[in-house]
Chains A and B, each alone.
Chain A
Amino acid sequence: MFDFSTQLASSLLPNPIVTASGCAGSGKELAQFFPLQELGAIVTKSIMLNPRSGRATPRMAETPSGMLNSIGLQGPGIDHFLENDIPWLQSQDARIIVSIAGETVDDYGVLARRVRALSNVVGVEVNISCPNVENRGMVFSCHPDTARAAIENVRRNIGGDLPILAKLSPDVTDIVAIAREVMDAGADGLALINTVLGMVIDINTMKPKLAQKTGGLSGPAIRPIAVRAIYQVHAALPKAPIIGMGGVASGSDALELVLAGASAISVGTATFGNPTAVIKVRDELQELLIQRGFDNFSDAVGFAHRLGS
């Protein structure tokens, strides 16, 4: 019997496939297509302290094998989220990874305290890397000191053993250095990678297609960047569990990230093209691992590092 379970720090998930933050709505949108319990976990949209309108439209531009988005963290704020979204997810018996995003280091601490003791929550993703913020200097994960400060504040406020997963941006010179910094600051694991900052210009209007000019690139176009980032970080920090993401749309895509060192896989943009993509990826990945003679999922994690090359 193949063992598909995976260990994310102190949390054991029955399978390693999870949604990606901001790509599964509140969960209700996808529940018509499959039971949310089927997922390793659902990762919520990044929730902030206050309601947020997000950015003006156009917010999206399709690109070759990818898309740019500049949603800008539209969401209802933590109060509404705790009153509505969380109880509903709990009623579905879903395992939940709550993603939090702050405007300040203090926000992260307050948010961590609000979500630390909820049933069914198996982890907190600390989004310190959303590219769609007004001030690029505010992307916490682009600087070792701000990345550290945000994670330290979450660590101080969470107590207990609920896994803290730091979500990092690939838009840095040395992602390993940032990964070391946040692990040292008290993170239990990493989420790699957030979208890559990009831009599209409409040659008819001769202006940027997105209202706010830049957006985050996602989809298969960025998969090699994700594989590289996961591989580099796993090589340097082999004990840090990684949720890998970036353009996964099939089981073979997921396997690539697993071999690079991911202990779990988020499916994000693929859900936009196919509401059941997450389930397809899960089933295909299991089949591929069995075909390759693995008895359990964990043995495949980071396997590409073991070939002595």
Chain B
Amino acid sequence: MSAINVRAIQCSAEIISNKKIGAYHHMVFAVSDMAQNARPGNFVAISVGGEASALILRRAFAIYRSSDKGSAGGVIELVIAPHGAGSKWLAAREVHEKVDMVGPLGTSFGIPTEPARALLVGGGYGSAPLFGLAEILKARGCRVDMVLGASSAAKIYAPLEGKRSVSSLTLTTDDGSAGIHGLVSDALPQIIEENQSEIIYSCGPMAMLEAIQLVANKYELVHQASVEESMACGIGVCMTCVVPMRDPDGVVKMSRTCIDGPVMDGSTVVWGSKGIIPEGTWGA
């Protein structure tokens, strides 16, 4: 059998909750069997706009949390930032409406086999998949420190239930409206040194992930980054969402972030490659 998308199914998912939280919408979908295979870092792809829509591409959303038990059966929770036509349409859906969903897709965060001291770093709504990850790490006996950054306080997503799983939470904002005035990457060295962090998990904009990789290099830490590239299909057929990535043989290839990602070993990504094909890339 094929080794791609093997856990993915397509289903009609009923919205069972849609709440506005700060700048974001927290939405819960009844997805039956899709939930049992969802891991932190995976994403779903949702068709938007309805039958007569001019929006023809699926939208990819990182899974915030998933559960395969409970009164609604399997559920998947998403945090939506309504800033494009597709995400605005989705955030405006009412409870009991249904959407066409494909998932779970992509790679997930690797969980250490032994308890480790983990540092989770999120930018904006990129914090969403980190809370599900924090719960799992905590349950495995890991120390979990979290740093969340955004342009302003309203754009930090840190719900109360999420905070329970973390040992410490540091906020940074570009405008100083909450926490440390500055970028997440500026805050990292001190946190890493204080907590003796051993592994970094991150999710957010590419520039932030690149800055985190520089810090990870300095402290020689493993960095699992959930990258963000715009996708057209989410299932590996369109070749749109590629980033240059060094494969195990050391060859740089344009790799699909929907299949080889979104969670990638940060040390294998050739960062800062938007708009260029790095020299030496296979087939360049």
Contact = CB atoms under 8 A, between A and B. Distances in A.
Contact of A275 (B102, B229, B259, B284): B102
Interface stretch (A49-57, A141-149, A294-302): A49-57
B254 A74 contact: yes
Interface in A38-84: 50-60, 62, 64-67, 69, 71, 74-77
Contacts of A88: 2
A273 B56 contact: yes
B43 to A, nearest CB: 14
A299 B10 CA distance: 35
Contacts of B259: 29
Nearest to B233: A272
Interface stretch (B109-117, B145-153, B237-245): B237-245
Interface in A77-104: 77, 88
B240 A60 contact: yes
Contact of B237 (A58, A59, A271): A271
Contact of B239 (A22, A64, A274, A275): A22
A219 interface: yes
Given A54-B254, A276-B10, A65 B56 contact: yes
Contacts of B3: 28
Contacts of B276: 56, 211
B229 A57 contact: yes
Contacts of A211: 274-276
Q: How large, as a class, is the contact surface on chain B?
A: 35 or more
A275 B240 contact: no
Contacts of B55: 62
A69 B238 contact: yes
Given A54-B239, A219-B56, A272-B238, A32 B277 contact: no
B47 A28 contact: no
Interface centre among B2, B3, B275, B282 (most CB of A within 10 A): B2
Contacts of B229: 57
A29 B56 contact: no
Contacts of A50: 283
Nearest to B276: A56
A51 B275 contact: no
Interface in B228-284: 229-230, 232-233, 235-243, 253-254, 259, 273-277, 281-284
Interface string A209-233: 0010000000110000000000000
A120 to B, nearest CB: 17
B97 interface: no
B284 A29 contact: no
A269 interface: yes
B47 A25 contact: no
Interface string A14-32: 0000000011110111111
Given A65-B54, A65-B56, A29 B254 contact: no
Contacts of B242: 54, 57, 59, 74
Interface of B: 1-6, 8, 10, 47, 54-58, 100, 102, 229-230, 232-233, 235-243, 253-254, 259, 273-277, 281-284
Interface of A: 22-25, 27-33, 50-60, 62, 64-67, 69, 71, 74-77, 88, 211, 219-220, 249, 269-276
Given A74-B239, A272-B233, 11 more contacts: A24-B237, A29-B236, A29-B237, A50-B283, A53-B254, A54-B239, A55-B277, A71-B240, A271-B237, A273-B57, A273-B233
12 contacts: A25-B4, A28-B2, A28-B4, A30-B235, A32-B2, A53-B284, A55-B277, A60-B230, A69-B232, A71-B239, A273-B57, A275-B102
